[in-house]
Structure 1
Amino acid sequence: MTRATLFALPPGVDFAAELVRGLIDRYRDRPPEELARLRLYLNAGRMKRRVQEEFDAQGALLLPRIGLVTDLGRAPVPGLAPAIPGLRRRLELAQLVEQFVERLPGFEAGADVFGLSDSLARLMAEMQTEGVSVTALEGLNVDETHAEHWRASLEFIRIVGRFFEDSAELDAEARQRRVIEALVANWSVAPPRDPILIAGSTGSRGATRQIMEAAARLANGAVVLPGFDFEMPPEVWNSLDFSEIPLEDHPQYRFLALCRSLGLQPAEVQRWTEAPVPCAARNRVTSLALRPAPVTDQWMSEGQGLGDLRSAMRDVSLVEAASPRQEALSIALIMRNALEQGRKVALISPDRMLTRRVSVALDRWGIRPDDSAGEPLHQTAPGRLLRHVAQAMGRRPTLETLLILLKHPLVATGSTMRGDHLRLTRELELTLRRKGCAFPDADAVRNWAARDPSERELWAEWITTFLAEIEPDLALGLAGFVARLLRIVEGLAAGPGGSAGASELWLEEGGAEARLVMEGLSREAGAAGDIARPDHAELVARLLQAGTVRHGRMTHPQAAIWGTLEARTQDADLVILGGLNEGVWPSAPEPDPWLSRRMRLESGLLLPERQIGLAAHDFEQAIAAPEVVLTRARRDDEAETVPSRWLNRLLNLIGGLPGQNGDKALEEMRTRGAQWIALAERLDVPAKSTQPEPRPSPRPPPEVRPRELPVTAIKTLIRDPYAIYAQRILRLRKLDPVRPAPDARLRGQALHLIVEKFIRTRPEDETPEAAQARLLALADEVLEAEVPFPGARRLWRARVAAMARGFVQGEAERSAAGTPVIIEQKGSVSLQNVAFVLTAKPDRIDLLEDGSIHIYDYKSGQLPTDKQVLSYDKQLLLEAAIAERGGFEMIGPRHTSAMTYVGLSRDAKVRQISVKEETIAQVWEKLGKLIAAYLSADQGYTARRAMLKSDDISDYDHLSRFGEWDLSEPGGEDKA
């Protein structure tokens, strides 16, 4: 048998350049057509482009036939049908998963059908790639060693075994395996006459490793491995598979497995070229740091031979930023500086959020890096519109949903009314938000349009057509769902009186890719069967999320953003390894709902450590670049972060070798990184320190100041005068939120209306049981009419039921003591010394037998204390003062003998306010002084003058720029 031939290149060298150089050297003295006979298989499309570029740089040559290993699965083979679309197989699996979940609802509770079917599809693809059949799972002793969950999942996997039968339609992975097996079998009988070279792959997948092993055994075949550690001692290689569970998380493990299967020792792997690495000393440090955990005691013994670590880490900087934003700014500054020096720079990171932040930061200088990942399809404008509409279908449209769709940049682009559309959308928004319409329907839109039908009617009819299309239809299958989705989306893009063909929906790269995805879904929708409609929107979102858009815009030729796989193709002068935190690099393994770790090991499937080992290999290659910057954020948006295990090991090794100047090397690495952090801070925050702004206290002219206020506004005037200024003078009102919610204000309004109707309709001689029944009936009526939120209606109805007995009993006592004469009726009185009117609208005033009155105020929230009533919450005291001065025409001047707060809570708590003539007189006198002061030109309306709590929120905090001034300041000199 021919001795297998394995070549490799060490970490840090330009793999593509050295691969081409090695080929040129080997074919230099041969006829030109010899190189053209070579079949060269590479691991990725970017590697293929790099290799072609390197061949182009060599001048006129007959090039080898270059392809990808993954292309083998698409090659035509007699008797082997083309692979079926992956989406069809996913939909077929989704049908089975839905039935399985219905039978076992506790299996992965909370997971959607398509999420489980996708994970099952990945498992099947892995089984086919690794050559593991369903029968291999039969020998697992599930009943004794595994939980009931795994037993159920294993039974289900056996059910889908029909997809592994010879007669089953082949998906891409199964066909790839079949093609490779047929090719290997053919090579064993009739070896190819043309040379075969496979380069750039680590052999981490079963089918790929199978073709690599076959090529290495050919007399005219060979394999070139990337990032092979030629310096690692034999005993360390042997330790990788010494234990029962192999150490697959080591970066060199898959090379050892390949060597073992070929009957080779790692020492027999030959160097493809003798190209020197950028820093051999640094490579030795990294290799030692990444040793398997069981042999890390070698740090102390072998660490002494690493030499001066300051020299080894001379070209490595460490950026430990305070936040992800600071990390991104630091990286952007490093990249810009490298570009200004004419150097090629690349950021390598699996953290897509970090890379997007860096791209945004670079954009301020007009730098657009070449991002290998492109833009996620679901974040493009067409992708977002498709997702929004899919999520809205089958649900009652909310105000937020309607506005999101109407304001989308692609909506109405097929109409000449795009400008009018934006204006009318704004007008409709203001109307709906002022009226607090949580779930706008066609009637709400038509009522709004009726105010100006000449301009609004056509536009409103277009909206009502869209709203009718979105109505629920639970009987809609996937094919019907997709057809309706596209009809709605194209109708929105067309706009009123426009056409979808004239819109921008399917234009540019994002639109073209989104259209391909939706056309593919339309073709394969029949394979979904009767999958429940609620899962359809999730399927659309998943398909769009899996798509990537590569824009044809010009990018900077010297700036790149790569994923970790591209570390093998590096040719940059400066490499930045970003996001070096645990859970990011390496990423946390995805949980497998179908097989446990032990089941995977016993059946021969990949362990989670395999993916970690691949990421470790990418790290080992990336850190071997000529100059390297390692970056991480010490804290993310939620908590403190943990450094990546590889960064942690590297820093611990260096810092633990003071005899080799490791402590100084580490200090210098951090010092170099701190310079970029300091620049990022200066870029993010102005260097000049700014003094706090003066506390707003505007002083408008007396003639524009309010001459009438309700008693409820007096509390605001005392606590937050600026709110009175903004509301009564500037005429600014807070809009209802875009996403209306059942808040305390709505609850209070509903409860007050229930109480008002209860008091007004109270019959004589009503029994307590009848009163409670009437209260609950009124609650049902009011909540149904006033509260559009089903959940809130149930909760608040339960609150009314809980307080019904105590409230009815209290109302009976109150009615026995007096007769309600004023219920939500307005009264007013003028002040004597100033031109000012005080108004009030009491919840209830009862006339007592002695001719005096009892004032009640119903509170849905917390009842105020006596001290708060005397100082701030003076509503009842001021209502008593108005009543004494005849401000309520129905009762004339009356003496107030009692004031009571009635709580609308479970315990129906009440609080009596002590009434004294001198107290009411003092409050009235203080009110006159307060109003006189605020009618003076010298008195300012100070922001947040005496808030109950420092974290209380005012509707006008944004207008007063709260946070830019100090609460301890008395108030500025604003004259506006």
Structure 2
Amino acid sequence: MRRDSLFTIAPHAPFLATLAERVLDGRLLGDWPRHGAFWLSDITIILPTRRARFVLAEEFARRLGGTVLLPDIRTFGGEVADEEPFLPPFDAPASKPAASLLERRLTLSHLVRLFAERAESFATPPNPAEIFWLADSLGEVMDDFTIAGIATEKLKELVPEELADNWQKVLEFLDVALKAWPAILAERGRIDAATARNERLLRQAGAASFVYGDRPVIAAGSTGSIPATAALLKAVAALPRGVVVLPGLDTSFTPDRHDRMINGETTQGHPQYGLMKLLRSLEAGVGEVVELGGETPRTALVQAALAPASETPAWPILRADIPVSRALEGVSILAARNADVEARAIALAARATLAEKKTVGIVARDQTLARRIAAELNRHGVVVDDAAGTPLFQSAAGRLARQVLAIATDDYAPVDIISLLRNAAVSLGLDRFLVRRLTDHLDLRLRSERPGAGIAGLRGLSDHAELPELLDRLDAAMAPIVTLRTRERITAPELASALLTTLDALIAEAELPGMAELRRWAEELVALDQGGTAFQPFDLEAVLEALLTGTKTQNPVPARDDIHIWGELEARLMNPDLMILAGMNEDIWPPVADPGPWLSRGMRIGIGLEPPERRQGQAAHDFVMAAGNAEVIIAYAERIGTSPALPSPLLQRLYAFIGESEAKLARARGMRWLAQADAIDHAGVPRPADRPAPNPPARIRPRRLSITEIEPLMRSPYDIYARHVLALKRIEPLGTEPSARERGTMIHGVFEKFVHAGLDLELPEALPEMMEMARDAFAGLDAIKERRDIWLKRFERAARQFLDYERRRDAEIVERHAETKGEWLFPALDNFVLVGKADRLDLKRDGTLEIIDFKTGGVPQPKDMTAFDAPQLLLEAAMARAGVFPGISPRDSSALTYIKIGLGPAAFQIKPFKLIKGMSLMAAVGEIERRLQRHVEAFLLVDGLPMAARIRPRVETGRKSYPGPYDHLARTDEWTLTAGVDDP
């Protein structure tokens, strides 16, 4: 290798612009003539990415206009079809086609499943999705061996006796798998993609002297992390006019530091590790590399901050030689409280820069954060192309596929059905507006009535003339994927084929982003001879996610030239006017050093593979290169999801080096965007709502209430106003789980039916008959069989205790009346009517009544009973004394009883009504009757008294409180001061 062939461009210098300048001024060309219109056309420049290739061409065009032809700009590896036929040896056979990632995933899934079934290395057997994830990680291990050029026989150098038992089994499996995959490829006439890339790079390296001769060749921007790429760089450096330009090499490294970097055991995570290792493969030292970008304090500061741990004691000396404040000019740190605010602040900073006619580059390792940023930019009319694309699984087509699988998995659950039918792409061959109208109707039905299981349960709700046709079409469209669910095992191609058929039937001919990519994916799967391991058809959404890994859909909107969202690979060598490093959080940038499930860190090192920290070193180098930009924003979130989050270790080291005062200044510069992010949605200082106190005229206030509405009338007349004057009724949430209220309705029905049947309590058939009634009552839960069975099992305990209770008191009871309805007319109160239904009215032998109320929810507190704040049973007793219950003559009551039907061991609890000490039951009945009439007259019959909310709120202490049905309408959270206040 020539001694004058190695150069570097420091992070602070725009890499591609500096490269173009040094080519044009001849610094990198030696004595190559630079005149005429064709002098550049014989120069070859090789770059890592296509994006860098296009940007460099633009740099040359901007400087030269149309005066000369541009250089031949290529990428490492090049294009197979374009270059291979022209590389010596010319008689070499054509390369075999490379196996796709999908083909490898399916093939290796067979091996992984067999290993999982036979080995005891897994605490629990992996599910189908995990099988495919493990197949991918196994493929990555194979890539590591191929890229590093390490023979699989190296595994034998590991001593099994030194490993744990589970690692010994994994080692045996790897020995088989790493040999089986090449054999399978050879049988199919294919090669692995990593092998194809290695062969192509090595062939280019071997042919370099023949292809380029003495013409200038410049290989720039590569760190040589792939050994085959390093071989090509070495071949270029050995050419008469070959030049290698490294990105961001720290030329301050001494030979001793260089040696410690290569031979140290914990230096793989350092940003210079890859470059220093490349220099060794080039048989060169740091002193032989020429810096093309000059010096600035920014680069010196970042390199010093990220020095190896062994060199941090020298920080005070290094810091004294660096003007820290000047080095940090143009650096802002954006410490957002969460990822949403981070994305919003980044979008605002980018928009402001674009308004100044400048360019913006946003680097995000986290694709979820990247999509958030793109959504925030779209809010300002800035459509940005995320270079990484959108994962197909999360595209519009992927979302529809997930909705389909949810319906098949949950057997047409209400939420899944409505979600699918509300998808704008779903038409089922009908007019979309008709589908929307029918969906609205079905939505209301599903909120008011619990359907049976499956499509048959939905058909049971078909009370609209056009709804059956919609459900028939839906049934036919879902048939392929629903049929798969009934099989014992399926394969990935079968899943893909059925899913594609269903999606085509759902959307008809509609355009759906990602559908073309999903169709290509499905067609590739179906076309594969080997369909992968068969699996049970459960958790299909996770299986689909695993199968779609690595498949993406690109933004169909034309990309702008002045703003981009990049991954680290795309961002390398880029230098926009503003560089934004997003998601600089721990475990994101750099990533977690995870060796994977197949080789431990020690095993990797033992066979010559790089430890997982190597990826951290590459991410750190990307950070150094990006942080050298003139204007840079470093952003991170202090919370991710619901958990606290830390800044990246790279940023933490930068904080430690520059000191707290400088760090505060950098964060203060970022506060500008955080303040704007907080202000953008600020609608002014909130104005708390006043307690609502509507005052409708008495003529439109209700003249008919149920006994359960008397307590709200006394505590919160606003609830009566909302229900009867405004005629507002609460609609249940879609797909809500069965509640205690619904359970109570079912249990009341069982008790009523049992009493009406007049069964003999002493007969042994009493309990079976009662349980049969319960099964009929709980039939509405057939769609959720587990809940039905659990409730039946728990009810059986309550039924046994109910029968025991009834047998104990049977001698005292003459008649039992269940679910008896009555209406009590008050002529003196403008014909006000009180409506009530008593759970049980039991006529005792002494001529009095015992009134029983079954409760599946909470029982009123004793203090509420004595304060007349739980009036229901007292009012039922008053109605019984007035003789308004059919079939029961006017009678006094001698006992009021609550029976709590619970879920646990205390499934049947008897709780007598609590009276004021010294007051008789009928005296309490008279008192509640007087209070009823006063409240009715005050709030319903007379103009002027507002129907205010929560005039006598219930204060719960130490108990869970629940919102009332009209709390959101009354905006109680805005004006209520009493903690734990709850309406009845």
**Structure 1 residue 251: deviation in Å?**
0.5
**One-letter identity of the residue aligned with 1:691:** R
1:942 corresponds to which residue?
948
Query: Aligned equivalents of 1:878 and 1:648: distance in 2?
Result: 69
Question: In 2, are the aligned partners of 1:398 and 1:438 still within 8 Å (CA)?
Answer: no
Distance (Å, rounded) in 1 between the aligned partners of 2:500 and 2:571: 40
| Structure 1 residue 636, shift from structure 2 partner | 3.0
Deviation at 1:422, TM superposition (A): 1.1
- Select which of 287, 294, 312 maps to 2:303: 287
Counterpart check, 1:575 vs 2:571: no
Structure 1 range deviating more: 643-652 or 465-474: 465-474
Matched, 1:400 2:396: no
Q: Tell me, what secondary structure is at the counterpart of 1:89?
A: helix
Match of 1:890 among 871, 887, 892: 887
CA distance in 2: counterparts of 1:602 and 1:764, whole angstroms:
81
Match of 1:344 among 355, 359, 365: 359
Aligned positions of 1:652-691 closer than 5 A: 652-655=656-659, 664-686=661-683, 688-691=684-687
Q: Report deviation, 1:183.
A: 4.4
Percent identity, aligned pairs only, is: 32
Query: Which residue of structure 1 lines up, in the alignment, with residue 96 of structure 2?
Result: 81
Asked whether the 8 Å contact 1:742–1:789 carries over to 2, the reply is no
Partner residue, 2:519: 515
Q: 2:472 aligns with which of 430, 442, 461?
A: 461
What's the offset of the Cα at 1:693?
Answer: 1.8
Q: Counterpart in 1 of 2:744?
A: 748
Would the alpha carbon gap of residues 765 and 873 (structure 1) be closer, same or farther in structure 2, given more than 3 Å must change?
Answer: closer
Aligned to 2:910: 910
Deviation of the 1:246 alpha carbon = 4.1
Please tell me whether the aligned partners of residues 878 and 926 of structure 2 are also in contact (alpha carbons under 8 angstroms).
Answer: yes
Return closer, same or farther for 1:564/1:467 CA change in 2, 3 Å cut-off. closer
1:542, distance to aligned residue in structure 2 (A): 3.6
How far apart, CA to CA, are the structure 1 residues paired with 2:366 and 2:242?
38
What aligned pairs does 1:458-497 form with structure 2 within 5 A after superposition? 458-471=469-482, 472-474=485-487, 476-494=490-508
TM-superposed deviation, 1:228: 1.7
Whichever residue aligns with residue 971 of structure 2, its letter is R
Q: Could you tell me how far apart the structure 1 residues matched to 2:945 and 2:593 are?
A: 65
Supply the RMSD in Å over aligned alpha carbons.
Answer: 3.0
> Partners in 2 of 1:282 and 1:968 — Cα distance?
57
CA pair 184-45 structure 1, distance change in 2 beyond 3 A: closer
Contact 2:450 2:780 in 1 (8 A): no
Does the alignment pair 1:858 with 2:854? yes
Post-superposition CA distance 1:13-56 (Å, at most 9, x none): 22122222333322553776564344433212211221222232
Q: Look up the equivalent residue of 1:297 and give its one-letter code.
A: P
- Of the three residues 923, 931, 936, the one matched with 1:926 is 931
Post-superposition Cα deviations, 1:90-135, rounded to whole Å, max 9, x if no partner, equal 1111122223323347626455221221222222222222223332
Deviation of the 1:256 alpha carbon: 0.8
> Offset of 1:898 from its aligned partner?
0.6
Letter in 2 for 1:226: P
Partner secondary structure for residue 735 of structure 1: coil
Q: Does 1:46 align with 2:51?
A: yes
Q: Does 2:836 correspond to 1:840? A: yes
Query: Closer, same or farther in 2 for the Cα pair 1:685/1:394, shift >3 Å?
Result: closer
Q: 2:820 is aligned with what amino acid?
A: Q
Aligned to 1:205: 226
- The 2-side partners of 1:862 and 1:456 are apart by 40
Show the 5 A alignment for 1:593-672. Answer: 593-655=597-659, 664-672=661-669
**Aligned-partner residue type, residue 348 of structure 1:** V
For residues 642-685 of structure 1, the C-alpha deviation after alignment (integer angstroms, 9 at most, x for no partner) is 11111111111111xxxxxxx54333323322233233332232
Which residue of the partner structure matches residue 658 of structure 1?
none
2:477 counterpart letter in structure 1: F
Structure 1 unaligned blocks of 5 or more: 495-499, 656-662, 972-976
Which residue of structure 2 lines up, in the alignment, with residue 873 of structure 1? 870
| Cα distance in structure 2, aligned partners of 1:732 and 1:746 | 20
In the superposition, relative to structure 1, how do residues 694 and 247 fare at CA in structure 2: closer, same or farther (>3 Å)?
same
Aligned match of 1:660: none
Task: Supply the AA of the counterpart residue of 1:817.
Answer: E
- Residue 246 to residue 648, structure 1, CA distance change in 2 (3 Å): closer
Q: CA deviation at 1:534?
A: 3.3
Are the structure 2 counterparts of residues 679 and 485 from structure 1 closer, same or farther at C-alpha, using a change threshold of 3 Å? closer
Q: What CA distance in whole angstroms lies between the structure 1 residues aligned with 2:260 and 2:617? A: 15
Alignment partner of 2:554 out of 550, 557, 571: 550
Deviates more, 1:194-203 or 1:839-848: 194-203
Write the deviation string for residues 167-216 of structure 1: whole angstroms up to 9, x where unpaired. 35312112222333444456699996665433222122333333333433
**Quick one: distance in 2 between partners of 1:671 and 1:444?**
58
Deviations 1:447-496 (A, max 9, x none): 554x453x4454343233235444333155433332222221111112xx
Task: Choose which of 220, 225, 229 in structure 1 pairs with 2:250.
Answer: 229
Task: Quote the residue 2:917 is aligned against.
Answer: none
* In structure 2, distance between residues paired with 1:336 and 1:376: 26
Aligned to 2:697: 701
1:345 Cα deviation after fit:
2.5
Report the Cα offset of residue 704 of structure 1.
2.2
Structure 1 pair 725–239 and aligned structure 2 pair: CA distance change class (3 A): farther
CA distance in 2, matches of 1:201, 1:762: 90
Counterpart of 1:320 in structure 2: which amino acid?
A
Match of 2:112 in 1: 97
Distance in 2 between the 1:609 and 1:745 partners?
A: 57
Unaligned runs of 5+ in 2: 86-91, 915-919
**What displacement does 1:232 show?**
4.2
Deviations 1:146-171 (A, max 9, x none): 3x332232222222121134835312
Q: Number of residues paired by the alignment? A: 940
Counterpart contact for 1:310–1:664, Cα < 8 Å: no
Aligned position for 1:65: 72
C-alpha distance in structure 1 between counterparts of 2:528 and 2:815, whole Å:
70
1:592/1:743 CA distance change after superposition, 3 Å:
farther
Tell me the TM-score normalised to structure 2 length. 0.89
Partner of 2:158: 140
1:330 aligns with 2:325: no
Local SS of the residue matching 1:616:
helix
Contact 1:371 1:561 in 2 (8 A): yes
Partner in structure 1 of residue 967 of structure 2: 957
Contact 1:720 1:943 survives alignment (8 Å):
yes
Alignment CA distance shift 1:391-1:369 (3 Å): same
CA–CA distance in structure 1, aligned partners of residues 606 and 203 of structure 2: 27
C-alpha change, 1:470 and 1:877, in structure 2 (3 Å) is farther
Is the alpha carbon distance of 1:483 and 1:951 closer, same or farther for their aligned partners in structure 2, counting shifts above 3 Å? same
Alpha-carbon distance in structure 1 between the residues aligned to 2:368 and 2:432: 33
Task: Measure, in 1, the Cα distance between the counterparts of 2:257 and 2:452.
Answer: 66
Per the TM alignment, residue 504 of structure 1 is displaced from its structure 2 partner at its CA by 2.1
Change (3 A) 1:206 1:295: same
Equivalents in 2 of 1:240, 1:139: separation in Å?
26
Give distance in 2, aligned partners of 1:209 and 1:3. 17
SS of the equivalent of 1:546 reads: coil
Q: Deviations over 1:278-300 (max 9, x none)?
A: xx112111111101122211112
Partners of 2:685 and 2:211 in 1: CA distance: 79
Q: Distance in 1 between matches of 2:751 and 2:537?
A: 43
> Residue 130 of structure 1 aligns with which residue?
148
Name the CA shift for 1:678/1:480 in 2 (closer, same or farther; >3 Å).
Answer: closer
Distance 2:631 2:210 in 1: 49
Amino acid corresponding to residue 434 of structure 2 in structure 1 = D
Which residue of structure 1 aligns with residue 817 of structure 2? 822
User: 2-side partners of 1:103 and 1:270: how far apart?
Assistant: 57
CA apart distance, 1:556 = 4.5
Equivalent residue of 1:923, what SS? helix
SS of the equivalent of 2:365 reads coil
